[in-house]
Structure 1
Amino acid sequence: MRREDIDPRFFGDRLAYNRAVVLEQPRRWLVVAGHEARDDEGGIAAVGDIRGQIRLTFRRLGETLHTAGFALSDLVQIMIFTVDIEAVTANYDAVLSVLAEADCRPASLLAEVRALSDPRMLIEIEGLAAQ
């Protein structure tokens, strides 16, 4: 598969952001449902702690990718939904560190929503991966 990052423009270098990603001849796709910061028993973890929820959500996303034979670096798109966009932007370095460590620069969306499926959730991340 050949990958080309398109038009990172203003924020690309600082925010691991691309306006688009061109993929030629991917062999496999993985559509990843929204992930949240769940502990090992399935409860919401890091309640009230946006940094903790960001880190754990990406860890859970990585586990799902790994189970399917993918890695975080295979993500070509992520959508981050939050109930507190100011908290996420103030702690966006936690997102950037995960993406940088994985050498991942997906097309991305960050959006504030009125509510997520559990009122203790501050963030939910879904994605699209390709190989």
Structure 2
Amino acid sequence: MTTATHTPVRINPTSWNVPLGFDQAQLRSAPERLLTLAGQGPVDESGALLHEGDVTAQLALAMANVEALLALGGMDLRDVLSMTVHTTDVDAALAGYGAIVERLTLAGATPPATLVGVTRLAIPGMNVEITVQAGR
């Protein structure tokens, strides 16, 4: 494990982002391994959508799916270099964003993150999808 990737230099010229659990930028040494995740949504092991209509529950499950892939790649949320949350309902995603902040806080992670509003996602009823790049 490369300690430098777990202890990034946090760059935050202001503090509005702190309650949302992310840094505006991070400076890290170049990772030896890079893990890129396809968009992870609120689906079960068979790909069936769960929690239709509940954006907070969808955020929590999508993050759990992200964490599962990170673990399979020998990484965790502290290794996330960047995260993008796509949502069909920005207001609901902001209201339920604590589901993401909780998981990041437990891991001691504050990866740079972006929230993007989209008109729809791949599965009807899916309101969130999270993409991640991680490195170690």
TM-score bracket for the superposition, by shorter chain length: over 0.9
Which has the larger displacement, 89-98 or 1-10?
A: 1-10
Long gaps (5+) in structure 2: none
Q: Distance in 2 between matches of 1:8 and 1:70?
A: 28
Amino acid at match of 1:109: T
Whether 2:49 is the aligned partner of 1:44: answer yes
Matched residue, 1:96: 101
1:31 Cα shift? 1.2
Long gaps (5+) in structure 1: none
Amino acid at match of 1:47: E
Matched residue, 2:80: 75
Give the structure with the larger strand fraction: 1
Matched residue, 2:38: 33
Alignment equivalent of 1:124, drawn from 123, 129, 132: 129
SS where residue 45 of structure 2 aligns? Answer: coil
Q: Structure 1 pair 119/76, CA: closer, same or farther in 2 (3 Å)? A: same
1:27 Cα shift? 1.7
SS where residue 43 of structure 2 aligns? Answer: coil
1:8 Cα shift? 5.6
Identity between Structure 1 and Structure 2 (%): 27
Tell me the matched-pair count. Answer: 131
TM-score by length of 1: 0.93
Amino acid at match of 1:66: A
1:25 Cα shift? 3.5
Q: CA RMSD in A?
A: 1.3
1:76 Cα shift? 1.8
